[in-house]
Amino acid sequence: MQLYKAPNADIKFNLEAFDYEGQVASIDEYADFDLDMAMSLLDEHARFCENELLPLNESGDRKGIHFNPDDASVTLPEGFKEAFNGYKEAGFLGLPFPPEHGGTGAPLTLAAVASEVLIATNKAFSMCPGLTSGLIEALEAHGSDDLKGRYLENLITGKWSGTMCLTEPQCGTDLGMLTTKAIPEGDHYRLTGSKIWITFGEHDLTENIVHLVLARLPDAPPGIKGISVFIVPKVREDGTANGVSCGGLEHKMGIHASPTCVINLDNAVGYLVGVPHKGMRAMFTMMNNARLNVGVEGLALSDAAYQHALAYAKDRRQSRSLDPAKRELDHAADNILVHPDVRRMLLNVKSTNEALRGLVTYIAINIDRAHHCADEADRQKSDDIVALLTPIIKSYATERGFENVSECMQVMGGAGYTQDWPVEQYLRDVRIALIYEGTNHIQALDLVGRKLPRHGGRLLQTFMGEVTTLIRGSKDTPELAPFISALKERSKQLQAATMELAGKGMSDQEEAGAAASNYLNLFALTTLAYIWCRQLTHALSVGGAQQEAKFQTARYFFDMVLPEADLYARLASVGKAPMMDFNVDYL
């Protein structure tokens, strides 16, 4: 039973709340994309996802992918090829990419909020456009004009697709250990090595697949500083096969319709992207978008699960209300929404989903501003916010998303555990998001070890400046007072935790590592409190039922979710001793 509907009304609310028109559509090159135009694009995209991709979600999960060992080909489930053709013909793949290479040239903000709907309707499918976008961004930012000319248009229009070939059997988190070799040969290189976990590494959707491959040149320094980036097409431009083959598929808990491939490179022709040995730097420039997108996966499946749990709850009658006045005695039992705990579970999910959707919008708008504002100070401010909040959305939205999907299953009882409903698939599909694109603890180390110290703590100051501006601007709005007062308190708590962490971590990095995951969650909750205050500010200007709904949902968040911050603050300050004094022989 697939009931999902795109939450475009709430997406619009957030575009307004975070001033999409003033912040993004006001940038010269986005002048064509005012809110009306944006919503018309998003509505068209949502219709396609609901009509063409949603019907393939369950069948894709059940049928999975076929690997043919005879020719190492991979066949996707029925309907995926037609759906991909439809998606590319509608121009959705090229939404945020330059018109000169066949794209629409829309703000990245629209692609980011649209991706929630794409993922919610069919997460496995979404990974093909997702990975291709990553490759396009890398080429745009670091490729030579020649490479751009040869590759971008076919990728942007969906004639070809792209992958990211990073992981090898001996290295996932620690890419410094990778051993794939690239030997120079004339204007190109010859690559040899084995890559694993390659999403959409082989498939039958497009006539060519372009791999972005991390490898080492012969004169590369050891470790992370000796990695270069290459483009390696499956089929060479002259139509001959390159030395690229699929060595098999992983069998996974979820995302069954997304092929996860072993990709073997055997003397394959490749082209250098950017500067030799500076590959990791190039990868970091595109990582923000990819990590934001993984965060969106947590939100997307959480909302899809919520919609089903709510539909189930509205329909299900079981037991009597604890309040005799609410009992409907003409029915054999009361609707389960009378039970406080059913509401508690649903509101845990709803109140975090809506905040996370706001955070996605806020970050995406700042990505556009970081790249396209005319004023350097504006660009820098937005870049600070994006860099700081990216690890937070990736980690917190996936962790919470997983918990939320499980909470939705709990609302549905045994029904949620069966394949009659898609929630069990969402739970299996969403779990990987806590692991890939940098595990969630890697996000925490990125936050604590890179983002906080950067530019003498400027990133945090920039974000706290935003918080302070909001607090000051809300002085004369009594409706906001309880929320603003909680935000103030939480900001102080976060700043105190940051000082403590910086103090300890300066002399002992293990202290920072021990605290990082809990600190990230503390930061996330404070950030969501800020997002809720922004949303409430806008809700006041909207009025009516939407205002009431937002205020009631925010009240739940501030009363029942935000207190988790105290636990994270406490755990972040315990210190490393319980872990590091532990004798590993006793594990």
By CB under 8 A, name the one of 26, 157, 167, 285 that touches its own copies: 167
- Two tokens, residue 485: 């007062």
Residue 402 interacts with its own copies (CB under 8 A)? yes
**Scanning residues 253 to 312, which ones bind its own copies (CB under 8 A)?**
253-254, 310
What's at 77, amino acid-wise? P
The string over 148-173, giving b where at least 16 C-beta atoms fall within 10 Å of a residue's C-beta and e elsewhere, is: bebbbbbbbbbebbbbbbbbbeeebe
Burial 343-361 (b: 16+ CB within 10 A, else e): bebbbbbbbbbbbbbbbbb
* Residue in 240, 507, 541, 583 binding its own copies, rule: CB under 8 A: 583
Span near its own copies by CB under 8 A; candidates 146-154, 186-194, 454-462, 561-569: 561-569
Establish if 173 lies at the interface with its own copies (CB under 8 A).
Answer: yes
Binding of residue 66 to its own copies (CB under 8 A): no
Write the interaction track for its own copies spanning residues 351-390; mark x where CB under 8 A is met and - where it is not.
----------------------------------------
72 is written with which tokens?
């190492």
Distance of CA 249 to the CA centre of its chain: 24
Considering the rule CB under 8 A, would residue 542 count as an interface residue with its own copies? no
Applying CB under 8 A, which part among 16-24, 131-139, 274-282, 572-580 lies near its own copies? 572-580
Place of tokens 């001959």: 240
Min dist. Cβ of residue 199 to its own copies (A) = 11
Using the contact rule CB under 8 A, the part of the chain among 51-59, 98-106, 265-273, 329-337 near its own copies is: 329-337
Residue 442 CB, nearest distance to its own copies (Å)?
9
CB of 392 to its own copies, least distance (A): 16
Q: Hey, which residues between 430 and 489 contact its own copies (CB under 8 A)?
A: 431-432, 434-436, 439-441, 444
The answer to whether residue 344 forms part of the interface with its own copies (CB under 8 A) is: yes
**Site residue total, its own copies (CB under 8 A):** 90
Give the count of beta carbons closer than 10 Å to the beta carbon of residue 404: 29
**What would you report as the CA-atom Rg of the chain, rounded to the nearest whole angstrom?**
24
Which residues in 191-230 contact its own copies (CB under 8 A)?
Answer: 197
| CA distances from residue 34 to 22, 45, 179, 229, 537 in whole angstroms, order as listed | 9, 17, 48, 37, 21
- Segment near its own copies (CB under 8 A); pick from 76-84, 110-118, 227-235, 551-559: 551-559
In this structure, what are the phi and psi dihedrals at residue 6, rounded to the nearest 5 degrees? -60, 135
Q: Kindly list the catalytic residues.
A: 437
Judged by CB, which is closer to its own copies: 377, or 587?
Answer: 587
* Shorter beta-carbon distance to its own copies: residue 49 or 442: 442
94 belongs to the binding site for its own copies (CB under 8 A)? no
Tokens standing for 286?
A: 């595109």
Considering only residues 183, 322, 499, 506, which one is a binding residue for its own copies as defined by CB under 8 A?
322
Cα(201)–Cα(163) distance, integer angstroms: 6
- Closest separation between CB of residue 583 and its own copies, Å? 6
Taking phi first (over 0 means left), then psi (-120 to 50 degrees means alpha), and beta for anything else, what does residue 480 get?
alpha
Nearer to its own copies, 69 or 586 (CB): 586
* SS3 at position 584: helix
Asked if 9 interacts with its own copies (CB under 8 A), we say: no
Question: What is the DSSP-derived secondary structure letter of residue 431?
Answer: G
Q: Give the DSSP letter string of 122-187.
A: -HHHHHHHHHHHHHHHHHHHH--HHHHHHHHHHHHTTSEEEEEE--BTTBSS-GGG---EEEEETT
Span from 25-33, 78-86, 200-208, 404-412 in contact with its own copies (CB under 8 A)? 404-412
Task: Pick between residue 251 and residue 472 the one whose CB is nearest to its own copies.
Answer: 251
Among 419, 461, 477, 485, binds its own copies (CB under 8 A): 419
| Residue 552 near its own copies by CB under 8 A | yes
Nearer to its own copies, 465 or 563 (CB): 563
Please, which of residues 116-155 interact with its own copies by CB under 8 A?
A: none
CA 164 to chain centre: 16
Distance from C-alpha of 542 to C-alpha of 119, rounded to nearest angstrom: 29
- In angstroms, what CA-CA distances link 245 with 60, 259, 265, 326, 410? 24, 14, 7, 64, 43
Rounded Cα distance between 191 and 119, Å, is 33
Structure token pair of residue 58: 């369950």
Please identify, using beta-carbon distances, which residue of 496 and 577 lies nearer to its own copies: 577
Among 19, 44, 489, 510, binds its own copies (CB under 8 A): 510
Question: Which residue's CB is nearer to its own copies, number 165 or number 467?
Answer: 165
Q: Which stretch in 89-97, 120-128, 386-394, 417-425 sits in contact with its own copies by CB under 8 A?
A: 417-425
Residue with smaller CB distance to its own copies, 495 or 552: 552
